[in-house]
Structure 1
């Protein structure tokens, strides 16, 4: 009798281990340094784990391209993407869906900043005097730090950035762009306006050395994207539960991680303008 009970218990444990849902993993584009990313998103992991009642883990990545690769390879199932990285990821993983975006994301914008030594002042358009200065984008795969700034540079000057500026670089992330322009390593740069505003509010920018000289027209940007096969893995309705958890995230401390004032529903069609611009600029086949 004892042996039967033991066998039954072992069978239950083994069956439970087999049927246990795998860890739900998410990541985010590295628009700031890795330390900041971990601080920002571990709290989000804890929140999602409580809401979804399944183990949730945040995994940082080193580059925008690595974020897309991790999503394509199912190393992560959910990602906080920028507009361009989200479009690329969804094209690589058919059936994946944009679930939610920040309230600010349908009308996002980029700031062009300049070192005070240039003498450039805020204006309604980019002046001809930026020619032959040095300029840095953020990451090569960034929507707000590369794609849209390049699009508007080409629209303004009718030339590629390499033909407009004496030197063009890629800082890697928005925080680094601020630091490089503030220090004078580059005279100009373009970045995500939310990162700029947060850095200024936190006292991390010397506005006597660097300031915003122009802001782009608005465009759709960041969003949460989920792989399309999640209901088959975690159970019917799981995708809806993930979306609802994101939409009802109202804790100000959690929202500061992005930073956003809240989240609203998103769809793949919302980012069609980004896809068209990426094709026009040559960043998407």
Structure 2
């Protein structure tokens, strides 16, 4: 068993924020570089994955180098540059990593019997917006907050449903549109009155409500239909034996009673997945023209 040396590092752009360059092939059996998107603030993203990293170290008998990025595009770039072996992506950022780096999804989280995720629209009580009909009627007088531009549940799918179901183009229909980064930042922005309405990941919002981290001035307006999101994906250069070991380690978390880790991941268990499960996101990605965006 190698000595645990999980590091807390926030990565910037590839080549600037990453240290040590690409992993050499002979090092991959000894060190696993694990990257996670900053869907919450970077410190929290690391904290929520530290125990998981330690578990993988023990199960795989490797050292895990745990890192996060300054934004979602950073993790796509890191995977493309082969500076990340295992990544926790949003659905859209995974599709980009698959397109650019042949990233392969191996597991997704299941909660309450489903692997679907949802976006939730929220509003500040001062707006009197309580339904999507209200939101549509008042859009031109409302400031809208989204998450990271590549966030599946914080930007892409909310945009998809606004356009397809309500004929609202966020960048034109609202008084203003601001991207504030992490999902918890969306709640803080709306609660602070800096935006009238916002959209974020529904599971994260529900967790914030459960922990009483949501100001009473914020109300839920609507949850979208479900969609695939948040896969753990591996670099296409990893050998199948390593990939199989990682997949098995995730899948056995519930059998081994690792409830604390699963709770931190906001799932009940992990189940196997493949690229076909994410094909429905392709329509939204093409609609947003993200595959042609050189910045990720």
Scaled by the length of structure 1, the TM-score of the pair is 0.87
Residues 1:183 and 1:57: Cα distance change in structure 2 (over 3 Å)? same
Secondary structure of 2:199 counterpart: strand
Secondary structure of 2:40 counterpart: coil
- Does residue 191 (structure 1) correspond to residue 191 (structure 2)? The answer is no
Q: 1:122, CA displacement in angstroms?
A: 4.6
Residues 1:166 and 1:61: Cα distance change in structure 2 (over 3 Å)? same
CA distance in 1, matches of 2:148, 2:116: 21
Q: For structure 2, which runs of at least 5 residues remain unmatched after alignment?
A: 1-24
Q: For structure 1, which runs of at least 5 residues remain unmatched after alignment?
A: 1-17
- Does residue 204 (structure 1) correspond to residue 213 (structure 2)? The answer is yes
Report how many aligned residue pairs link the two structures: 262
- Does residue 26 (structure 1) correspond to residue 27 (structure 2)? The answer is no
Q: Report which of the two has the higher share of helix.
A: 1
Q: 1:142 aligns with which of 137, 140, 151?
A: 151
Q: 1:282, CA displacement in angstroms?
A: 2.0
Contact 1:100 1:243 in 2 (8 A): yes
CA distance in 2, matches of 1:280, 1:38: 32
Poorly superposed stretches of 4+, deviation over 6 Å: none
Q: 1:175, CA displacement in angstroms?
A: 0.5
CA distance in 2, matches of 1:186, 1:152: 20
- Does residue 97 (structure 1) correspond to residue 104 (structure 2)? The answer is yes
- Does residue 243 (structure 1) correspond to residue 251 (structure 2)? The answer is no
Q: 1:19, CA displacement in angstroms?
A: 6.0
CA distance in 2, matches of 1:211, 1:145: 17
Q: 1:196, CA displacement in angstroms?
A: 0.4
Q: 1:129, CA displacement in angstroms?
A: 2.9
Q: 1:24, CA displacement in angstroms?
A: 0.6
Residue 63 of structure 1 is matched in structure 2 by 71
Mapping for residues 67-216 of structure 1, pairs under 5 Å: 67-94=75-102, 96-104=103-111, 106-122=115-131, 127-206=136-215, 208-216=216-224
Contact 1:113 1:213 in 2 (8 A): yes
Pairwise CA RMSD: 1.8
Structure exhibiting the larger radius of gyration computed from Cα positions: 1
Q: 2:273 aligns with which of 249, 263, 266?
A: 266
Contact 1:249 1:263 in 2 (8 A): yes
